[in-house]
Structure 1
Amino acid sequence: MARQVLQGIPVSTGVALGKAFFLNRGRSRNIPRHNIPDRDVSSEIQRVEQAFAQALAELEDIQLRVPAELLEHARIIDSHIMMLQDPKLLESSKDYIQRMHLNAEWGLEKAVADIEAVFHSIEDSYIRERIQDVRLVAGRVQQHLLGESGNNLHSITTRIILLAHDLSPADTVELEVGKIMAFATVTGGKTSHTGILARAMQIPAIVGVADLEETIRDGEVIIIDGLQGRIIIDPDEEELAGFTDLKYQFEQYQAGINRSSHLPAETIDGYRVKVFANIELLEEVSSVLGNGGEGVGLYRTEYSYLNRVKLPDEEQLLEEYQDLASIMFPGKVVLRTLDVGADKFMHHFGGLDEANPALGLRGVRFCLHHADLFRVQLRAILRASLHENISLMFPMVSGLGELRQIKAVFNSVQMELKKQGLKYNPEMPVGMMIELPSAMITADILATEVDFFSIGTNDLIQYSLGIDRTNSYVSYLYQPLHPALVRMIKYVVDAGHRAGIEVSICGEMAADPYCIPVLMGMHVDCLSMNPQAMPVIKHIVRQATMEECKTLLKEVLASKTVGRNNKLVKDSIFRRHPNELMFYSSLLDEGY
């Protein structure tokens, strides 16, 4: 039996067996904290300025050495360079040194803590996890302040499983890709860069593993189970044999569905559904294309605002949107306007005293409140629309009045561009997300005002059932197949189709194998999901028939309880798709 089993978050599927290698284990991160006399203030300020300059020069040098196989991930390093070039973090550090007489290391820590306080209040996990970028950048500066050497990747001579407290984008540049079998880190969440990199490299990865550094010895044989998010330490012969067999089965299955991932998602009896991706970073596009994605159904534009202290200007946003549209062309790209709350921009606009930010100034409400910020983004999106594969989508619209307010701003921006002689595509499709019960109930009215609907099932479920799925006391109530939710979604799909517009699903239900037959039975037009889920979901669709899906939907609609619905769909899926559930159920149930 294994010496121990550690649990983490699976972010890239697969199984790996090998020896553990720690990146920089034992590197000191005990930040010295002391007050300095007046006479040392200027020298400490010089130290922190020099450390920022050294970190910047180091990243710029690394940027020039990005290997071809990781080239598309260099944009993360670009964002880290921008953070170092932005004066706000440095100035905040210097202010603490000057005002509170702190040593340089402590001043930097305090400046980072201020930013962390803002990010910790963010409800959206995708955005909240971006604080990791700030920590990585600050960590590189601290490394120079503390006089620490670089990483120890040069000592890798054989194929290993790479373990680390964290793995920065810059660290990955020095990886010899052929020698890395899997990743595991202490920090990180579902959207961490470690997961993005691992999925691009098609190797297993687990993040958020507590006690990783304290429990595993360098050179110890371990198993990375990227299907269930486990690390098996010092497995016995029976466990090694079992996981070796599982690894072979998974790789054979994966190779099979990958070979067919570029085929359309079309049922046996000829019904075709589009399969798009939800992404937030340009470097994820390679995964979209590699996994057979037909387009980007949801591009979360928030990251462009939250990976820097200074807000991006119109030209920076334009370049980003043009790059995305160009790479994906002719595939469709749906840009969702800022879906953030006031809590995310406190350092720009000042904090608000909101008892419940989730029900406060967020989404389009925030954009309408800060119209100048909104107009800058709309100008960039409109100018990028000349690529003709761009669509625009508004989040968290509560009803017709709010939608018309947004469209009035949008129309005003169009007129402004026209007067300035700046070109845009006047036929760019404009849609909205259905994620509030009020929008769902009035879907028939809203459908006459937009070109498409995208149902954000994550928020729709939470707002409709009155639960926070991150709250351990009530997370069990987060049930996508609740009779009320199934009826709501069908009502929106039917309302959209009656008005002649497309309806897509862009929440986690789109990547849930249990929900696919039910959604197919409703005749949804598009499923948008994490890129890694696309091959298996397309495979499920190709094995189904619309007749079966419609029959299952009819049974689900007639059911009175969520328990009955779960049994109906699970029986159907187990009967039709046993392999998908064996290899993917834990990962897909987590939203991938």
Structure 2
Amino acid sequence: MKGLGTSPGVGIGKIFLYKEVKLEIKKNNVDDFNLELERFNKSIEKAKTEIDELYHITKKDVGEKEAEIFLAHKMMLEDPEFIKGVEEKIKGEKINAEWAVEETANAFISLFENIEDEYLKARAADLKDVSSRILRILLNKDSVDLLSIYEKSIIVAEDLTPSDTASMNKEMVVGLVTELGGRTSHTSIIARTLDIPAIAGIENIIDRVNHGDMIIIDGDSGEIILNPTEEELDFYREKLQREERLKEKLKDMVGKETKSKDGHKVELVGNIGTPSDIDKVLEKDGEGVGLFRSEFLYMDNDSLPTEDKQFEAYKEVAMKLQDKPLVIRTLDVGGDKEIPYLNLPKEMNPFLGYRAIRVGLDRPEILKTQLRAIYRASHYGNIKIMFPMISSIDELREAKSIAKEVRESLKEDNIPFSDKVEIGIMVEIPAVAVHAKAFAKEVDFFSIGTNDLIQYTLAVDRGNQNISNLYNQYHPAILRLIKMTIDGGHEEGIWVGMCGEVAGDKKLVPILLGMGLDEFSMSAGSILGARYIIRNTSKEEIKSHIDRVLNLSTATDVENYIDENILK
């Protein structure tokens, strides 16, 4: 069997076949609807308590950014439309709480699923998770206990909810296999964060395997071997041992320069989503932060965060980094990130719509407040500003003009700030990559955001399960746009970084080095692996392969060429 490898590595263990507990919901008429309202309200409170516990477990074991999904779940439990809908059904129809919850939730889920927007479809999955929790509490049913897994196991499931991944025994789970999902699904992101191999997209997998069967999964290739032979077990045990030896070698990378075999130095930095994430980056010897997603300040609030609140967050990270660079991306909302109090319009194509810098320029008071906070924090560290979703030089000039206004207002107020703050843009729209040289005349740096660059170039919604196989970072067109961006930046004397997932892809790190990328920004867990690859690679040798790679026809050709001519 073969699926889509979504988290690298080898997993060997017994199958833990996970099937959701089927809840039988029956409609019952009631005499005392007040009793049902009380049961419903108690179930909501208990669900909130459970979700709070999951939030803290995930925050501790995985990370604050990954735990944010449970803040969204808690908001759903407090959604007045949902609560009102259930209560009106109970009172109006005099029915039991279970039926009212099921009917109300299904109405919302159906609404979300029928909208051609993958973000809202994902919200449908979250609402299923939340409503199932309420129903399980009302029916006094226990969930499948993934925490009690006591031997090395690979969970096989149709899909795994955030609640499932938060509550599994992370010491004993050595792999995940799901029918649904893709590289950007919740399960895949958690797997990569926890360094657990994962494979998605195996049709009817739960009907093709048995609980307790021995299984091998290879998250690099997507290969699955069910009930392997001794020879197959020996082969993959050796591969697993090689991976473990490599992990030990990576520990030796702490304190070493990120310099290629032929002496070319690059900057190896981390992506963070909250101030607390900086600890992981420093623990893995990151040389700074190449992307600070500032959205958390807005998503964790019921209203726009104040200048002072933002200033304190940016200052905290800048001081921990000391003189190491900190690139702060201005507010990037819309598309897959919705903030209720901003009242962003519902759109047919939100990823192509009113989002990121477009919101900032349309509502400059939001951008000015953020820029004031960033400039104030620049007094305490080496801060750089990055504007997201720039598509035209006119937009860029307008954003720079607002930044100039902010600097002048801070001078008038006698508030100290650094006069060396670099301004750059994310290159995530193909038009910018194609026209890179002209944009480079206007900024101090580029940072290539490959997640959206791939999505826009290949016209593939990266959250759409049905076409996830088309979302491919090895596509020659993607590599050509990256090379054009690097060359355009260098021709105008600016440095070029990358902050998308591709920056930490072990197959592409040598290619990016050969193309001349100056800065690699990635999740903290990928930093030491990337340093190991760079230190064992000659930039000049790889450079001789670049034209050949760019002229290959398919993504598969690119992968095969890298495997056969570079990684070996």
Work out whether the TM-score is over 0.5.
Answer: yes
Cα distance, 1:294 vs structure 2: 2.7
- C-alpha change, 1:210 and 1:263, in structure 2 (3 Å) is farther
SS in 2 for 1:563: coil
Q: Which residue of 2 aligns with 1:404?
A: 397
Q: Which residue of 2 aligns with 1:106?
A: 102
SS in 2 for 1:547: helix
- C-alpha change, 1:203 and 1:506, in structure 2 (3 Å) is closer
SS in 1 for 2:50: helix
SS in 1 for 2:517: coil
SS in 2 for 1:182: strand
Q: Which residue of 1 aligns with 2:564?
A: 574
Q: Is the 8 A contact 2:440 2:488 kept in 1?
A: yes
- C-alpha change, 1:120 and 1:338, in structure 2 (3 Å) is farther
Cα distance, 1:393 vs structure 2: 1.2
Matches within 5 A, 1:230-249: 230-249=223-242
**Alignment partner of 1:481 out of 455, 476, 479:** 476
Q: Which residue of 2 aligns with 1:95?
A: 84
Cα distance, 1:121 vs structure 2: 1.0
**Alignment partner of 1:252 out of 218, 241, 245:** 245
Cα distance, 1:351 vs structure 2: 3.8
SS in 1 for 2:79: helix
Greater CA drift, 247-256 or 507-516? 507-516
Cα distance, 1:394 vs structure 2: 1.0
Q: In structure 2, what is the Cα distance between the partners aligned to 1:286 and 1:164? A: 33
Matches within 5 A, 1:369-408: 369-375=362-368, 377-378=370-371, 381-382=374-375, 384-385=377-378, 387-408=380-401
Q: In structure 1, what is the Cα distance between the partners aligned to 2:431 and 2:424? A: 17
Q: In structure 1, what is the Cα distance between the partners aligned to 2:54 and 2:502? A: 39
**Alignment partner of 2:535 out of 528, 542, 547:** 542
Q: Is the 8 A contact 1:89 1:111 kept in 2?
A: no
Cα distance, 1:135 vs structure 2: 4.8
- C-alpha change, 1:255 and 1:401, in structure 2 (3 Å) is same
- Which segments of 5 or more consecutive residues in structure 1 lack a partner in the other structure? 579-592
Cα distance, 1:406 vs structure 2: 1.9
- C-alpha change, 1:552 and 1:362, in structure 2 (3 Å) is same
- C-alpha change, 1:248 and 1:343, in structure 2 (3 Å) is closer
Cα distance, 1:428 vs structure 2: 3.5
- Which segments of 5 or more consecutive residues in structure 2 lack a partner in the other structure? 94-98
SS in 2 for 1:396: coil
Matches within 5 A, 1:361-510: 361-375=354-368, 377-378=370-371, 381-382=374-375, 384-385=377-378, 387-413=380-406, 427-440=420-433, 442-457=435-450, 459-460=452-453, 463=456, 475=470, 480-482=475-477, 486=480, 489-507=482-500, 509-510=502-503
Matches within 5 A, 1:120-139: 121-122=117-118, 135-139=128-132
Q: Is the 8 A contact 1:83 1:307 kept in 2?
A: no
Q: Does 1:149 align with 2:142?
A: yes
SS in 1 for 2:385: strand
SS in 2 for 1:265: coil
SS in 1 for 2:39: helix
Q: Which residue of 2 aligns with 1:58?
A: 50
Q: In structure 1, what is the Cα distance between the partners aligned to 2:251 and 2:216? A: 24
SS in 2 for 1:109: helix
Matches within 5 A, 1:155-304: 155-163=148-156, 177-185=170-178, 188-207=181-200, 209-260=202-253, 263-278=256-271, 280=273, 288-289=281-282, 292-302=285-295
Cα distance, 1:404 vs structure 2: 2.0
Q: Percent identity?
A: 31
Q: Is the 8 A contact 2:109 2:127 kept in 1?
A: no
RMSD across aligned positions (CA): 4.6
Q: Is the 8 A contact 2:109 2:124 kept in 1?
A: no
- C-alpha change, 1:171 and 1:15, in structure 2 (3 Å) is same
Q: Does 1:27 align with 2:21?
A: yes
Cα distance, 1:274 vs structure 2: 1.4
| 1:283-318: CA deviation from partner (whole Å, max 9, x where unpaired) | 76566456553333234445666688x566347766
Cα distance, 1:270 vs structure 2: 0.9
Q: Is the 8 A contact 1:275 1:538 kept in 2?
A: yes
- C-alpha change, 1:306 and 1:472, in structure 2 (3 Å) is same
Greater CA drift, 418-427 or 251-260? 418-427
- C-alpha change, 1:492 and 1:155, in structure 2 (3 Å) is closer
Matches within 5 A, 1:306-325: 310=302, 313-314=305-306, 321=314
Q: Does 1:337 align with 2:327?
A: no
- C-alpha change, 1:400 and 1:54, in structure 2 (3 Å) is same
**Alignment partner of 1:563 out of 549, 553, 567:** 553
**Alignment partner of 2:353 out of 349, 357, 360:** 360
Q: In structure 2, what is the Cα distance between the partners aligned to 1:87 and 1:422? A: 41
Q: Which residue of 2 aligns with 1:590?
A: none
Q: In structure 2, what is the Cα distance between the partners aligned to 1:272 and 1:70? A: 34
Q: In structure 1, what is the Cα distance between the partners aligned to 2:562 and 2:181? A: 35
Q: Which residue of 1 aligns with 2:9?
A: 14
Q: In structure 1, what is the Cα distance between the partners aligned to 2:329 and 2:10? A: 35
Counterpart code for 1:394: F
- C-alpha change, 1:231 and 1:333, in structure 2 (3 Å) is farther
Greater CA drift, 536-545 or 194-203? 194-203
Counterpart code for 1:577: L
Q: Which residue of 2 aligns with 1:349?
A: 343
Q: Is the 8 A contact 1:41 1:97 kept in 2?
A: no
SS in 2 for 1:524: coil
Cα distance, 1:87 vs structure 2: 7.5
Cα distance, 1:272 vs structure 2: 0.8
Q: In structure 1, what is the Cα distance between the partners aligned to 2:424 and 2:122? A: 27
- C-alpha change, 1:422 and 1:50, in structure 2 (3 Å) is farther
SS in 1 for 2:390: coil
Q: Which residue of 1 aligns with 2:96?
A: none
SS in 1 for 2:534: helix
Q: In structure 2, what is the Cα distance between the partners aligned to 1:351 and 1:112? A: 19
Greater CA drift, 168-177 or 95-104? 168-177
Counterpart code for 2:44: F
Q: Is the 8 A contact 2:384 2:421 kept in 1?
A: yes
Cα distance, 1:273 vs structure 2: 1.3
Q: In structure 1, what is the Cα distance between the partners aligned to 2:20 and 2:498? A: 46
Counterpart code for 1:349: N
TM-score computed with the length of structure 2 as normaliser: 0.78
- C-alpha change, 1:97 and 1:395, in structure 2 (3 Å) is same
SS in 1 for 2:328: strand
SS in 2 for 1:527: strand
Counterpart code for 1:242: F
Q: Is the 8 A contact 1:481 1:565 kept in 2?
A: yes
Q: In structure 1, what is the Cα distance between the partners aligned to 2:107 and 2:256? A: 50
- C-alpha change, 1:228 and 1:11, in structure 2 (3 Å) is same
Greater CA drift, 52-61 or 321-330? 321-330
Q: In structure 2, what is the Cα distance between the partners aligned to 1:545 and 1:249? A: 23
Q: Which residue of 2 aligns with 1:48?
A: 40
Greater CA drift, 163-172 or 215-224? 163-172
TM-score computed with the length of structure 1 as normaliser: 0.75
